[in-house]
Amino acid sequence: MPLVAHNRLPTFQRLKEGGEVVLSLDRATKQDIRELHIGFLNMMPDAALTATESQFIRFIGACNQIAQIYVYPFSIPELNRNEKAEAHIAEHYFEFETLQEQGLDALIITGANVSNPILEEEAFWDPLMRVISWADENVASVLCSCLATHAVVKHIHGIDRSRMGRKKWGVYSHHIANPGHPLMRDVNTRFDAPHSRYNEVTKEQLEDAGLTVLVEGEDAGVHLAVSPDQFRMVYFQGHPEYDAVSLLKEYKREVMRFFAGERDNSPRYPENYMPAPAQEVAKTYFRRAEKAIEAGDPLPPFPDAELETLVDNTWGDTGKAIVNNWLGLVYGLTSVDRHEQFMSSVDPADPLSLRI
């Protein structure tokens, strides 16, 4: 909750200059509990559809603004879904056309699986671009995750992602590259974040296009960047929303693919994620599985429960803090009659001008 400068204590002004949200007494007395309406474009594959819902909606629910927050999930019909996912979407999701008519304050876009080396050939490309074109004129800010970031920076800034030598997969240390930006308020200067991707856009590409890199890592590269206006587009290349077991589920999927003959080599462990005891459990499972195959027996159950007790979430609080800061800026920007006034006052060269 924001502080109220109810007297002339100099600390209030110092905190405000340092990026804290400090309301004047006059503004505080006029605060109402407002509504925020957040669109949530979920393009994740069927197996991760509802888990991704929970992850992002949990982040939104942790917002400490004085607001009632409505979340509107929707998807893209062109994505190939199984019957269960289609039924879930039909029952619980909204139509994009309905949300256009209703209006939204902000928008979150998830990643997606790809089947083509060229993003423009994906089934989601054209409908995603229609959403982005609408959002550019009608919402305060758009937050993109992973593949959505790669697609949107390609569309808006002409940045082509490049294939890495091997998958960037695991938990990596990052540091804040731009500590003065309001999205970085109360965020640890160094923190972990998960990545799971085969492609990347680099710091040099983003900065050459005028974007500002906020968070980066020596091994992982860029984790978070913002558009030249400092706020309208927020780009995560990593996955701050992941649960503690998200990478474990990906690892299990790849193990099962290996034993099904769908990949030639056994998967490596996600980097900096599975400690030695977890790796021992995985090795034991591999030996049991190989013996079962040799004997013509079914595969033994994967040791999900045992492994889940051995992995940690070292990034959740940081991701929550960044999303909270984002929603705080959306909250200030979408207050009555302030949208155009606010955006006209933003200096792209000075992220501090975003402060409400």
- DSSP codes of every residue in 326-340: HHHHHHHHTSTT-HH
* Inter-residue long-range contacts of 51-55, CB under 8 Å, 24+ positions, other chains counted: 51/243, 51/246, 52/110, 52/241, 55/241, 55/242, 55/243, 55/246
- What is the spatial distance between Cα 133 and Cα 147, in angstroms, rounded to a whole number? 17
Residues 6+ apart with CB under 8 A from 208: none
Identified catalytic residue from 63, 88, 122, 146:
146
Catalytic residue of the set 174, 181, 223, 239: 239
Listed as own residue / partner, the contacts of 121-125 with beta carbons closer than 8 Å and 24 or more positions apart are 123/76, 123/78, 123/79, 123/80, 124/43, 124/76, 124/78, 124/79, 124/151, 125/151
Identify which of 230, 190, 196 has the alpha carbon closest to the alpha carbon of residue 213. 230
Is position 241 annotated as part of the catalytic site?
yes
The residues, any chain, with a CB within 8 Å of residue 267's CB and separated by 6 or more, are 251, 254, 255, 257, 258
Q: Which one is catalytic: 122, 216, 241, 250?
A: 241
Using an 8 Å Cβ cutoff, are 265 and 220 in contact? no
Catalytic status, residue 146: yes
| 129 and 155 Cβ atoms separated by less than 8 Å | yes
Residues 6+ apart with CB under 8 A from 160: 154, 205
Q: Are strands 212-217 and 190-200 parallel, antiparallel or unpaired?
A: unpaired
Q: Which residues are catalytic?
A: 146, 239, 241
